[in-house]
Amino acid sequence: MKLNFFLPTRVIFESEAVSNYAAIFKNYGQTALLVTGKRSAKQSGAYQDVVFALQENDISFEAFDQVENNPSLETVQLGAALAKKAKADFVIGIGGGSPLDAAKAIAVLATNELTPDELLSNTFSTALPIVAIPTTAGTGSEVTPYSVLVRNDIGTKVSFGNQLTFPQLALVDWKYTTAVPEKTSVYTAIDAFTHSFEGYLSKRNTPLINSWALDAIAVFGECLQALLAGEWTNEIREKLMYVSLVGGMVITHTGVTSVHAMGYCYTYYQGIPHGQANAFLLRSYLQYLEPLEEEKIQKVMKQLSLESTEAFLTIIDSLVGLPRVLNPEEITEYSAKTMIQEKSLLNTAGNINKEIVRAMWSQATVEK
């Protein structure tokens, strides 16, 4: 057996994590840059909690609140300019995956002059310390080194990251997710599930990580009926935050697979939210994988307390709807763009190639 385990993030997962650990911010410096989206950091109450904690500890700060959903390279360059101007010692990302991923890129660009290619090929050896405070239960970005950015010049999303882009600290409090709109909560929950699901099926899976992935999948299974019924209790919110956190720990070690590789195209071309994009691709993923990984897929269904993959897909369909049918030109374009995501494709079971990717795109959008 081979294990290669590295997860340098200190995780504090509890109610009122930010106020309970307010003094911990002093470990990272005297001046912080807060990185957020336009509204949700404040809507969720996380921003106010952080500001209070910083003031209590005499830490000054500047705020960069321009992060859009699916942040672009251009945006993180603006954030980095502000970090430099403010002479920030560390960066605090508050929000969903978009602000957390942007915070990682800003932390690198604040201490390096890099071209986009240099950034995206991890050609750097410094970064400001990063603190991550998630307000969605989905990406697990608070414990991954990955930063996913939109590259408008090549027309898709790409990710980068190395050991410097792991947050040093993750303060995780499910209460912030109570402000997330219902649809977004469903999509982010499915994103969290796909991380453990794809991780378990990744060629880079290990027995250790599989036990985490199966645990998170079981907890997601406990939430399915509530998701279908729209019953957003505190208990469900807390469970989904846990699924998200563990999913991040899983993909840190296994990477993601073809679902994410393909999902980036849905988001880039059709503006479909990340979790919904992944959900739309589960049918063709299962069609491809069932013959290759029958035992593992059955194990996942058992963890979810479901009889069959059909029962699973029926639930997914009712949660997120069906994708529109793609025309042949779109299938060609999306297939070509998917092939750029070499690492994720290499992690996918079997010997995935252009023809298989094209077949998966065709099967993803069969008229029902």
Whether 30 contacts 55, CB under 8 Å: no
Name which of Fe ion, ligand NAP, none residue 184 binds, using a CB cut-off of 5 to 8 Å depending on partner kind: ligand NAP
- Of 79, 93, 97, 129, the one binding ligand NAP (CB under 6 A) is 97
User: What's the token pair of residue 265?
Assistant: 């195209």
- Binding-residue pattern over the window 217 to 256 for ligand NAP, x denoting contact by CB under 6 A: -------------------------------x--------
Give the nearer residue to ligand NAP in terms of CB position, either 179 or 336: 179
Element (H, E) at 172: strand 169-172
User: Which residues, in sequence order, are CB contacts of 229 under 8 Å at separation 6+?
Assistant: none
Name which of Fe ion, ligand NAP, none residue 335 binds, using a CB cut-off of 5 to 8 Å depending on partner kind: none
Confirm or reject binding of residue 101 to ligand NAP (CB under 6 A): yes
User: What's the token pair of residue 84?
Assistant: 């430099």
Within the chain, residue ranges assigned H as helices are: 17-20, 40-43, 46-56, 73-85, 97-109, 116-120, 182-201, 207-229, 234-254, 258-270, 274-280, 282-289, 294-303, 309-320, 328-338, 342-347, 354-364
- Evaluated on CA atoms 281, 178, 145, 150, the torsion sign reads positive
How near is the Cβ of 237 to ligand NAP at its closest, in Å?
10
User: What residues between 5 and 64 interact with ligand NAP by CB under 6 A?
Assistant: 37-40, 43-44
Give the nearer residue to ligand NAP in terms of CB position, either 139 or 210: 139
User: What's the token pair of residue 167?
Assistant: 């947050």
- Binding-residue pattern over the window 147 to 186 for ligand NAP, x denoting contact by CB under 6 A: -x--------x------------------xx-xx---x--
What SS3 state is found at 114?
Answer: coil
- Of 49, 142, 191, 198, the one binding Fe ion (CB under 5 A) is 191
Binding-site ranges for Fe ion (CB under 5 A): 191
Binding-site ranges for ligand NAP (CB under 6 A): 37-40, 43-44, 69-70, 95-98, 101, 135-136, 138-141, 144, 146, 148, 157, 176-177, 179-180, 184, 188, 191, 248, 274-275
